[in-house]
Structures are given as C-alpha cells and as structure tokens.
Structure 1
Amino acid sequence: MEYSVIKEGDLFLLTDLNGDIALDDENGHGLYTKDTRFLSRMDVQIDGEKPALLSSSSDKSYVASIRLMKNEKDKGAIEIHRERFIYDGVLYERFILSNYFLDAVDFDFSVSFDSDFQDMFIVRKYRTGEVGQIVERFWSPESIAIRYRGADRIERSTQIKWKTDVNDVSVDEQENVHFKVHLDPKEERQICFLITPMIDGKGGTALTFEEGLKRLHQSYENWVSDTAQAESDSDLFNGLFARGVQDLRMLLTDVGYGDTPVAGLPWFAVPFGRDSLITSLFMLPLNPKLAQGTLRTLAAHQGTKTDPWRDEQPGKIMHELRFGELVNTKQSPFSPYYGTVDSTPLFLVLISEYVRWTGDFSLVEELQPNIERALAWIDQAEQAGKGFLTYHQEAEKGFPNQGWKDSANSIVHESGHYAASPIALSEVQGYVYHAKKGLAAVYRAMGQTDRAEPLETQAAQLKSRFEEAFWMEDEQFYAIALDKDQNKVHSVTSNPGHLLMGELPSSERAASVAKRLLRQDMFSGFGIRTMSTDDIGYYPMSYHNGSVWPHDNGMILLGLSRMGFKEEASRVISALLDASSAFEYQRLPELFCGHGADVGYLVQYPTTCSPQAWAAATSIVFLQAMLGIEPDALTKTIKLGPALPESMNELTARDIRIGEGVISINVTRTGKDSYKVEVPVNTTGFEIVVV
C-alpha cells in the first residue's frame, strides 16, 4: 500500500508512508471519525527539513511502526522511531529520537498540526456544500485545541497534548510545536502526543502510552480467544487466516447496536448493508454471535417511508450510513441511503443462516417485525417487477446499478449496450429464494406453520420462474440479469455463481454452472473473474467487468461446497492462496486485475480498499469450504465434507461454535480425494455426518 492506516472503533488515521499528513494534502490523509477529518496536518521536520523514510510497517493491523532519519553521509544520523495506535477514541503517537553521531547534537524537532473538520465527501471531492467554520484556536506549551462549529450546529474540536522529557518546548502561531533537543551519542528522548477528537464536548479518555497499548493488545488477545482457530501444514493459509482474523477485529465498529463490520479502509469505515451482511455471513464459522450486531444495526435503520431522494421504501434495508456534516444538513442522502436491491434479501439470508449455526430463536422473535417488513417489501417489489426483484434509480445522487456490481457499466448486453432499468439481477433472485426457503424452515421449527407454508410456495414458484427466464441454453449458464423488457442480458459473469449458495439450480444445471466458472475464460488461475474474457464488455483492469474479487469468489465457494463440488472449490481456494502471496502482509484486497496466471505474475488493481472486510473474511470461507462444514441446528446435525487444496495435507480447526457448544476437527489427507476426519471435541450434542 502507498499509505499507512490504522483503526480502532470509530476512529481511523490515514497518512503517507512517512506517517505524515502533509500541508495541502491531496490524498485525503487525516484523522477521521463520524465522517469528519479532525486532523488535516501532522508532519515532522528536523531543523526545517523532512526526514527520510527508512521503513514503514503495520505487521499488526492496529499498530504502525515507522522509522525516519536525518543523516550526514558516513558521519551518523538522527533516527526517529514513530509508533502509533488508537484506543478508546484517542490517537497515541510516540516519537523516539536517537543520536547515532559520534558527538553530541542539538537540533529543532518540530511537529506541525492543523484541523479543517471537512466532511469526508468534500475531502474526496465527491460532494460540495455549505459548511461551518473554525471559531477558536488555542495553544500553550502543553497543548493545542482547535474548535469548529458546523452548519449542522454540532461543535467539533481537536485536542492535542504531549508529554516529553525534552525541556525546551514552544508553540508558534501556525500550530507548529518545536522541541529544542540535545542528545549525547547513543542518547534517546521521547515525545508522546495524545490527540482526541471531541464532538459536542465528548471524546475518549487518554491513558499513558504504555497502558493504552497494553489494553489494546489485550483486546486483540480476547478477540482471538473468543473466535475459532485454524492451522494447517500450509504457511500460505495460516498467514492468510491469521491476517484475516486480525483485520476483521480492526474493522468492527459499534454505532449503538453492537459490533458491525464496516466495509473497508480508508473510505468506507461505516456500516453498509450488503458489505456488512456478506462479511457477517462469512464470519459465522469464526463466531456466529458476531452477526447479532450487524442484524440489529440494520434492523434499527430499516426503511419506514417512501423517500425517493434516499431511495427509501418501507421495509427496505439500507445500503450505506454516513454521519458527516453534509448528511446532517440534508445536503447528502446518505443518512442512510437505501439504493441497493440486495441488502434486504441478504438481511433475511443472514438471519436464517445464523439460526442454522446457533439455534437462537430469541433473535428471530426480537427481529420478527423487521423480518416481516422486509418480506413485505420484497413481495411488493416482485409484483412491480413482474415476478422478480428489480431495481431502478430514484435518487438523483444515487447509484444507477444497485447490486454488488454497482458501477454504471456493469450490466452490459452482448451488443455492448448497457441494460435499461428496471433490472432483475440473477444473484438477487437467488438471495430471495435462499431467504424464503431458509426462513420457512425457521418458522416451521418455531411452530409458525402459517408463515412457513406461503414462504415455501413462493420460493418454489420463484425457482420455476427463474429457471425459465434466466437460463441461456447456448452457454449452459444463467444470464446476469433481465432488462426492463425482461430480455436476458446475454453475458457470462460470476453473478450466477452465487445461486449455488441458496441451492436454487437443479443438480444438473448447478454442475454446468460450476464447470463453466472454472473454464479458462472465467478462471484466471488467481480466481474467478467477474466477466468472461470472451464477452464484449471484458476489460481485465475494470472494476466489475473482468477483475477478480475475493468476496465474489467467497460467495461462489460457499455454494460449491454446499452443493458438493469439492474439486472446483479446491481449485478456487488454491488460486486465491497463490494470489495472496503477492500482497503486502498477505492481505487480500478488495479486488485485483483479471489478467491470467499465464502472464507469470498477478497484476494488482491501481486503487483498492485494503484492508477490506469481505475480502478479509474470505479466509474464513476457505476454512468452511475445506472442512465442508454445514451445521443445522434445526435438525441437530453437522455435515462434514472435507476437501483440501493440493498444497495442503493437514488441517485443524478448534473451538468452532455451533448451537450451545463447540466442535474441533482434524482433517488428514489419506489419498488424492480421501480424508481421515477426527472430531476430538464436540460439546454441541449434534450428530456428525461425514460425506
């Protein structure tokens, strides 16, 4: 990455690799919370010069370590070691200054600060609007404070304090803090900054650097102990899994209803409908109770009225929730914005899958009003869409395409023309089928037969309509979508692969889909592409028309595993494991280019979120698919159908939470396609079925 980023809770810091936020920065660097930039400058100098970068590392997702120097060739250097983390709403930044000259040195070490309190949409040049102004700047030898009164009448301020063993400290009128430092040879001095964003006078509580770091470390240790663990004889998988679990912890945020995974850093550190739901779905094997925060957060923001400006409708699940000044003053529709067609069925899918893992009917009872409103929205939308769930942009500043491939050019006919809306996406119909079938089983188990039976009937009818309308006989594959006239959008894409997760296709057609996804035009060798290389819309560096998205492959993997396509699942896992080795910290990014492995190396996408939640959670899908684990708390069974990639012969998973207990599993390869399965721990009371 060409940047350094750390996050904890609702606060994140984005800087250049030196650790700086430069004056007049054009890259959006800053310290952010609630979609507001509370620090727009933080750069260091020694005697008025910018020190050179030695190294910049974030081996741990939540701590950054940066080394800088100012040197004289063959004489020595002043080294600066920057360490930073965030805890309880406070940014901690420690500088350790070391003298590697033969003689004592005296120098001016300065740190420059500023805060512009810009809305993130303005920083990104995504929106403009009327905003507030800075009303006070205060500085002293111990602190700086900058106060801003927004157009939304919210008072925001940035409090900057420091502790140091340097005696001579001063602050000038430009918020430059100067430390007159004397260092003997090999001597060190420390300066620690504590930076606290405040909203209406409320902010985090500062601790000592050591105590804050200790508590942060402990929170990550607690996270690991509360989640499933996995290890294998593949270093690639072990590294990817560990990184994914750590990044997922960093990407959790509580906006009032429990921890929810935000979409990704740096620009999407807020709850999303689709992204948070898919990430939570992937995280079920890690600890299924983690889904509760996502479900409660989205239920709390479920649509209640018809508002075309926000694409809101009663019962609809939101797309994206923002908190900045433009949203608060109704200059932006993201408060929240509802322009997505798949969040609502995915909300129901996650509930049904959560129950399969936990048997927790109490959450269903709690959210049943939300469930029923979501089902009512789907039914009404299906009637308007001639039997399918469709979308059409209503909001002037919304999205023209409202599935996960939401770029304007993602739904393209074989003629090269874009499909006209209302559009019915293939995978969305699969989510609806999955949701209704899954909820019907849950309602039956709860004794609500009157609700189960109509859902079963509706699911069967949707399956029949879908098979007739979407199947492309010449391709032996499903179309990505139907356009406004219900004509097939004749493109071969990854979208129909999601159908396998809900088991909508017949076994024969499912086999065709699995086979087609692994053909050379779709399978790059590093993963399944979003679009076939044979299609007119294919472009390997596009966002959605030929690139490879790890989460897209993850959704397909869940279906391949569930429907028994073990060989295909293993090939996809092997490809993505190989791909992971090309990325810093073995962190799968949001997406990468669709060039095939035949070029000899993976081609990275120019701009991408990293870390990104559903990409990080794809490593958890690998574990689920390799174990072939399918728990069903409704029947008290756990199905295991292991299939390891070629590079792996042993896999151990511990403390997978199912029902009221845990299960640990050992898988050992005994032949090309045969495995020994051991279950040393099973406190679930469920029957184990190995297939």
Structure 2
Amino acid sequence: MDYRVIKENDLFLMTDKTGDIPAGNTAGHGLYTKDTRFLSGMEIRINGMTPILLSSSAGTNYIATIRMTNPHMESDGQLILWRESIELERQRFIYEGALYETIAFTNFYPKPVAFDFTARFESDFADMFVVRGFQNGTFGELLPDIQDPQKLVKRYKGTDGVERQTHIGWDRKETTVQEDSTVAFTFELAPKERQSVTFFIAPYIDGQGPEQVPAEQAIQQLKASYQEWDTNTTSVESNLPLFDHLYDRGLQDLRVLLTDLGHGQFPVAGLPWYAVPFGRDSLIAALQMLSAEPNVAKGTLLTLASYQGTKHDVWRDEEPGKIMHEIRYGELALTNQVPFTPYYGTIDATPLFLLLAAEYVQWTGDTALIEQLMPNIEQALNWIDVHGDADGDRFVEYYQKSSKGIANQGWKDSGDSVVHSNGDYAKAPIALAEVQGYVYHAKVKLAPILRQLGKEAMAQELESSAEELRQRFEASFWMEEEGFYAIALDADKKQVQSVTTNPGHVLMSGMLQPDRAAAVVQRLVAPDMFSGYGIRTMSTESAGYNPMSYHDGSIWPHDNSLVLLGMSRCGYKAETMQVIEGLMKAAESFEYHRLPELYCGYDESIGEPVPYPVACSPQAWAAGTPLVFLQTMLGIEPDTLGSTIRLNPVLPSGMTDLTVRNMTVAQGKLSLSIQLSPQTKTPVVQVLNNTTGLQVIHHS
C-alpha cells in the first residue's frame, strides 16, 4: 500500500508514506468529508528541504506515526545541520470531525541546533467525482484566505450556495504566515531536547464545524472508544497466530469504517473512495459481522430504511420500496449534476436488506426491530415482486434508466462483468443468479419470523413464492453441459454461460437441489476456479477470463466469504477449509496481513498473490471476511426462535485449539472452546459461558 489513511466517522485523511499531501498530486491524496477534498496539499520542510523517511505506520488505524530525519545541510563549506541530527515524529489522528497532527523534533546532535520548519497548505475543495476522474461539471470559486498569527482559513463558495472552509490552527506563537499559505517556525534545541508543534485542521460547512479540544484529551477519548469496541465484540484466541492476527485486523478495520448518520453505527464501503453509505457493501459487511457485533446490523438496517425509495425517479433509478445503492454529499450531487443523492441503481441491495433483517433476528431474537421496520419490509417485498420483476417472469432483473447511472447493477458492476461464452456482453434486463438466491433466502428466513408476529397469511405467501422461484431457477439457470449454473439470464431469457462465483452465493440460501449444490461446490474448488489463494470470480476456461480484470478472474475476499457461508451451511467442511486456508495464505503477503478489496487471479506458481493496482484497503467486506472464517469454523447457526444454537465445527490445518469469548447471541453472551481430539482428530466443544438462554447443540 503506497499511501497512509486514517478515518474516524465521516472524515478521512490519505497521504503518501511520508505523511505529506504533495501539491498537485494525481493520486487523490487529501483530507475529505462530505465527498469534498478540504486539504489538497500539506508539505513539511526543514530548512527548506524534504525530510528523509525512516518509518511509516498506520497499522493502528486510528493513529498514524511517521518518523523522519534531516538530510545533510551545509553551504559554502559551512555546516548548517549535520545529517540525521534531528528526529521528526509525525503523529496524527482524527477526533470529532477534525485532524490533529503533532510534529515533534528531538535533537540528537551533541550541540545546540537551530533550524527553520515550514508547513505549506492547499485546499482545492474538489468534488470526489472530480478527484477520481469520473466527472467534470460546473463549479464555484475560491475566496480569499483569512489569516492571523495562529490560524489560516482557506475558503470556497460552491455553485450549490454552500461555503466550505478549511480551518488550520497551530499551538506555537512565534510564527510567520506567508502569502503562499506556508506557515514558518524557528526551533532552537539543546542536545536531547524535544519540542513540538500541533496542528488542528478542520472542515467547516456553512460556518458549522468542530470545536478544538486539547490533543491529549482527544487521543485519550479516541483510544477509549476503541477499547469499548474491543470489549463489546467477539474475541478469539487460537494456536494459529495468522488466524488470530487476521481476525483482529478485520475487527479493527471494521471499527475504523463505522459511521453514524443518526440511526446507529453502520460500515461504509471502504477507503479511500467509498467512505459513504453504500447499500450492498454495508449490508454484506453487517451480515459478516453478526457473530462479532450484531448491533451494527441494526444500525445498517435503520440507516438504509431511512433512505428507502418512495417514488419513481428515472434520473436516480429510484422506485418505491427500493434500497439505495450509494449516496454522495459533494457539490456535483447537491447541484444535481450526478444522480447520487442517493442513487438507487442496484439490483441486490433490496433483497439483501430483507435477508440481513431475517438473519439479524436469528442471531438476536430482536423481533421488535422487525415490527418497527415492517412498513419498510412490506415496501421492499413489493418492490421485488412488482418493480424488480417488471416482466412478471418471477425473476428479479435490472435495467439502467438513468443517463448517468450504472449499467451492470449487481456486485460485479463493471461494464464487462456479464459476458456470454462467445465473448459478447449480455444485454439488459439481466437476471443475476445470486440475486435470485438472495430473494429466496430472504423470503424463507422471514416467513417464520412473520408467523411468530401473527402474520400467517404473509408468511405463507412468502414460502409459496419462494418455492415457485426455486423451481423456476432450477429450470432456467442450470447448464447441463457445464454441470453448473449460469451467471445470469439476458434480455432474451438466454443463459449467460460463463462459469463464475455468482451461483456460489446461492449456496447459503439452501435453494439449490442437493446434487447440483454438490457440483457447484466441487467446481468452485477445482483448478479453473480455485487459484490456491482463493476462488476466482470467473473460471480460467470462460471466454471473459482475465486474471488482471476487476470482476472477470480476480479474487475478491468478500465474494469468497459468501461462498464459504454456503459451503458451511451445506456441510462441505473440507472445501470450506481449503478456501479459508487459501485466503489466509494470500493475507500473509499483504501489508499488516490485511485482505484487500481484491487481488489478481494468478495461481500459486507466481510465488505470491499479485495485488490489484487500485484496490481499496481497508475495505469493509474484505475486513469482514476473517469474521466469516470464524462462523464457518464454528459451523454456528443460531435460531433464537427455536431457542437453539447449533454448532458443527471444523478447524483449518495447523489449528488444534480455538477459544471464542463474548459472542453476542440473543440477549446474552456465549463463550466456548474447541479442541482437536488427539485420538479421533475431531473437534471437541466445551461451553465456557452461556447466558443466551438458548440450548447449544453440537453436531460432528
């Protein structure tokens, strides 16, 4: 990863490894909130020269530490500053909507030294779509800066009538602010003396922004929030350190990606480009997190319910009952130059919303949330049956209507992701395999919950329509010659005969007939699909296969995680462990052992996984993948309605002991240990603590 990124709530900072935001950079470095870059340049110099990088770490997520030193400096034979005399330590974090950065200087020269230190700032207030090179448009103008001895304010008036400002303050008084927004300081240090300057940088929108608090107080409160997260989430300990590290990394990455818009915490999609509410991504990440912190699912459901579609709006691909795809808050969105306010062009977010609601109740027993969301659930079900199935063939299909919308509206949303065996791209309306599985899954899981709430007729209708969908799916999607399911049906109801991971998602729904489910599982771990580092999105034998592509042969951890849930629920333990072990092997090669958004689909002969050039990291549903590892290792299926927790454990190679603590199920906590029996080599379960009120049933 050639950048450093930190985030808290909806403010994030991306810099190069030195901690700078190079002026005029094309990599998108900057300080962002509300889809606007509030800081586009931040460069530090010592005596006018760039410091030398020693180390750079953002492994702790909420705080980044960067160590640097000075180059050798002399002029006309006169020593100015001996090389490596000064240690510069940059430490930054985000708290309550503001960036705090302390730069500390320590003199390791045996005599007193004096030097100049400067920090130059720029703010272009660019819209995120412009930074990413996706859009141009009509924009506002920069306003004159406001300066005083300890503050600099950069200003911009947008075409949306909003004034955006970047407030930059510092805590040293002997300062000069130059015309080019360079803040200059002079330091004099005795041997071993340490001095520092702390910057406070905050976005303001129409005069509203955060209050500054002492940096020491801010960091302590930030650390306390992370400690609370650690206390409230499920913890693991095993004799396989790689798994422990992966799981902990996933938990910490998910914590940094949480945001609260007033309805509870939910995960944004990922950094740096998707730090916004995102229907599909947020729902899948919350689903992955059920075993770690189910309250995130509640916050996600409530947040997305608040944006549910209410009308027909072609510009935004909105329809009544539809769950949104993505929302943006920048100038282009607010002036309606892009349709993301929010944009609804996603085919799977609506069934995933229903699916998550049902799974959340299975884990928590919180039927009160279902009662609260019942109007939203009924509207979402109506969208599936009416607007999602416009031609009445019982399959949910997508078709782009917005002129600036997305053409392919499943999770594989690139333009080349749905390709026929002859290389032609499928034409919409398109019915994706996994979407039908999500619909079936949602209806089957919701039915018993609704029955308990006294909605018998509604429950029966869901079960009846789910069974009809199952039968039609088997008849329409099964490719007899391939022994696999098609990725989709195109506009002419013809199978799109590529072998992909999409049908693997259907495994977790229980919709597939058993012999065909077995065929799907075996194909997914066959050499054309399984690279050794995970399951490819597309078979090497399919016409569209490209190991370097975004969706046609690359490996996506979250994609694998949904397949894993299905394999586990269908009882395929060996195949489940094969995939987990491949993903863990891949993780060893990435920075901080962090699974990225995706990586290339080359096999193990390359020697290590090949990174995808612009993969987001951290990415919510990639971070959630190790949490799914835990679910599938435990083979856990809570059923709060049936008052049981079923376990069917299996451990990966190299792991013989696994302890799980503080897992929230129902209204209590479950802790247990699993040990591999030396004699039988089978997992032995010991319940350490159970305050859930549910019976734990162990299957071997």
Indicate conservation of the 8 Å contact 1:20/1:43, yes or no.
Answer: yes
Provide, for residues 411-434 of structure 1, a one-character-per-residue CA deviation record: whole Å limited to 9, x for no partner.
Answer: 111111111111110000000000
1:572 to 579, 583, 586: 579
Counterpart for residue 654 of structure 1: 661
Counterpart for residue 11 of structure 1: 11
Counterpart for residue 335 of structure 1: 341
- Unpaired runs of at least 5, structure 1: none
Counterpart for residue 166 of structure 2: 158
Q: 1:651 and 1:270 mapped to 2: Cα distance?
A: 35
Q: 1:389 and 1:632 mapped to 2: Cα distance?
A: 28
Q: Does 1:527 align with 2:539?
A: no
Provide, for residues 232-291 of structure 1, a one-character-per-residue CA deviation record: whole Å limited to 9, x for no partner.
Answer: 111100100111101100000112222110000000000100000000000000121211
Counterpart for residue 92 of structure 1: 100
Residue 186 (structure 1) shift: 2.1
SS, match of residue 50 in structure 2: coil
2:471 to 442, 455, 464: 464
Counterpart for residue 35 of structure 1: 35
Indicate conservation of the 8 Å contact 2:162/2:206, yes or no.
Answer: yes
Indicate conservation of the 8 Å contact 1:112/1:176, yes or no.
Answer: yes
1:554 to 547, 555, 561: 561
Counterpart for residue 498 of structure 1: 505
Residue 385 (structure 1) shift: 5.2
- Unpaired runs of at least 5, structure 2: 74-81
Counterpart for residue 76 of structure 2: none
Q: 2:142 and 2:633 mapped to 1: Cα distance?
A: 55
Q: Does 1:81 align with 2:94?
A: no
Q: 1:21 and 1:602 mapped to 2: Cα distance?
A: 29
| Letter of the structure 1 residue corresponding to residue 4 of structure 2 | S
Residue 75 (structure 1) shift: 5.2
Counterpart for residue 605 of structure 1: 612
| Letter of the structure 2 residue corresponding to residue 61 of structure 1 | N
Residue 134 (structure 1) shift: 2.3
SS, match of residue 663 in structure 1: strand
Provide, for residues 281-321 of structure 1, a one-character-per-residue CA deviation record: whole Å limited to 9, x for no partner.
Answer: 00000121211111011111111111111111111100001
Residue 147 (structure 1) shift: 2.3
Mean Cα displacement is larger for which, 48-57 or 258-267?
A: 48-57
2:366 to 336, 354, 360: 360
Indicate conservation of the 8 Å contact 2:486/2:495, yes or no.
Answer: yes
Counterpart for residue 377 of structure 2: 371
Residue 61 (structure 1) shift: 1.0
Counterpart for residue 189 of structure 1: 195
| Letter of the structure 1 residue corresponding to residue 317 of structure 2 | D
Alignment of 1:344-493 (within 5 A): 344-380=350-386, 381-384=388-391, 386-493=393-500
SS, match of residue 274 in structure 1: helix
Indicate conservation of the 8 Å contact 2:70/2:83, yes or no.
Answer: no
Counterpart for residue 78 of structure 2: none
Indicate conservation of the 8 Å contact 1:233/1:651, yes or no.
Answer: yes
SS, match of residue 122 in structure 1: helix
| Letter of the structure 2 residue corresponding to residue 14 of structure 1 | M
1:145 to 150, 153, 175: 153
Indicate conservation of the 8 Å contact 1:320/1:336, yes or no.
Answer: yes
Distance 1:31 1:359, change over 3 A: same
Q: 2:681 and 2:645 mapped to 1: Cα distance?
A: 21
Counterpart for residue 627 of structure 1: 634
Residue 159 (structure 1) shift: 1.0
Q: 2:456 and 2:264 mapped to 1: Cα distance?
A: 31
Q: 1:660 and 1:81 mapped to 2: Cα distance?
A: 46
Residue 59 (structure 1) shift: 2.0
SS, match of residue 71 in structure 1: coil
| Letter of the structure 2 residue corresponding to residue 538 of structure 1 | Y
Distance 1:460 1:51, change over 3 A: same
TM-score by length of 1: 0.98
Q: Does 1:279 align with 2:285?
A: yes
Provide, for residues 548-589 of structure 1, a one-character-per-residue CA deviation record: whole Å limited to 9, x for no partner.
Answer: 000000000111111111111111111111111111011100
| Letter of the structure 1 residue corresponding to residue 302 of structure 2 | R
SS, match of residue 70 in structure 2: strand
| Letter of the structure 2 residue corresponding to residue 137 of structure 1 | D
1:202 to 199, 204, 208: 208
Q: 1:411 and 1:122 mapped to 2: Cα distance?
A: 28
Indicate conservation of the 8 Å contact 1:139/1:175, yes or no.
Answer: no
Q: 2:17 and 2:88 mapped to 1: Cα distance?
A: 14
Counterpart for residue 323 of structure 1: 329
Counterpart for residue 220 of structure 2: 214
Counterpart for residue 176 of structure 2: 170
SS, match of residue 108 in structure 1: strand
Counterpart for residue 45 of structure 2: 45
| Letter of the structure 2 residue corresponding to residue 112 of structure 1 | R
Provide, for residues 152-186 of structure 1, a one-character-per-residue CA deviation record: whole Å limited to 9, x for no partner.
Answer: 1122211111113xx63111111110001112222
SS, match of residue 437 in structure 1: helix
Mean Cα displacement is larger for which, 576-585 or 76-85?
A: 76-85
Q: 2:491 and 2:204 mapped to 1: Cα distance?
A: 49
Residue 104 (structure 1) shift: 2.2
Provide, for residues 426-474 of structure 1, a one-character-per-residue CA deviation record: whole Å limited to 9, x for no partner.
Answer: 0000000001111111111212101101100000000000000001112
Indicate conservation of the 8 Å contact 1:629/1:640, yes or no.
Answer: yes
Q: 1:448 and 1:187 mapped to 2: Cα distance?
A: 73
Indicate conservation of the 8 Å contact 2:428/2:490, yes or no.
Answer: yes
| Letter of the structure 2 residue corresponding to residue 90 of structure 1 | A
CA root-mean-square deviation: 1.2
Residue 680 (structure 1) shift: 1.4
Q: 2:364 and 2:645 mapped to 1: Cα distance?
A: 12
Residue 76 (structure 1) shift: 4.0
Q: Does 1:125 align with 2:133?
A: yes
Q: 2:316 and 2:391 mapped to 1: Cα distance?
A: 19
Mean Cα displacement is larger for which, 141-150 or 463-472?
A: 141-150
Indicate conservation of the 8 Å contact 2:507/2:517, yes or no.
Answer: yes
Indicate conservation of the 8 Å contact 1:574/1:647, yes or no.
Answer: no
Q: 2:161 and 2:315 mapped to 1: Cα distance?
A: 23
Q: 2:696 and 2:537 mapped to 1: Cα distance?
A: 36
Mean Cα displacement is larger for which, 144-153 or 348-357?
A: 144-153
What is the identity percentage for the equivalent residue pairs of Structure 1 and Structure 2? 53
Residue 46 (structure 1) shift: 1.1
Q: 1:487 and 1:24 mapped to 2: Cα distance?
A: 49
Indicate conservation of the 8 Å contact 1:69/1:80, yes or no.
Answer: yes
Indicate conservation of the 8 Å contact 2:69/2:84, yes or no.
Answer: no
SS, match of residue 54 in structure 1: strand
Q: 2:265 and 2:155 mapped to 1: Cα distance?
A: 30
Mean Cα displacement is larger for which, 67-76 or 29-38?
A: 67-76
Say how many residue pairs are matched: 689
Provide, for residues 120-139 of structure 1, a one-character-per-residue CA deviation record: whole Å limited to 9, x for no partner.
Answer: 11122211111222223111
Provide, for residues 304-353 of structure 1, a one-character-per-residue CA deviation record: whole Å limited to 9, x for no partner.
Answer: 11111111111110000111111111111000001110000000000000
Indicate conservation of the 8 Å contact 1:359/1:634, yes or no.
Answer: yes
Q: 1:496 and 1:142 mapped to 2: Cα distance?
A: 60
TM-score by length of 2: 0.97
| Letter of the structure 2 residue corresponding to residue 158 of structure 1 | T
Q: 2:444 and 2:620 mapped to 1: Cα distance?
A: 27
Q: Does 1:513 align with 2:484?
A: no
Residue 521 (structure 1) shift: 0.6
Provide, for residues 72-114 of structure 1, a one-character-per-residue CA deviation record: whole Å limited to 9, x for no partner.
Answer: 2985422211000001111000001122223322211000012
Distance 1:145 1:105, change over 3 A: same
Indicate conservation of the 8 Å contact 1:168/1:181, yes or no.
Answer: no
Mean Cα displacement is larger for which, 591-600 or 399-408?
A: 591-600
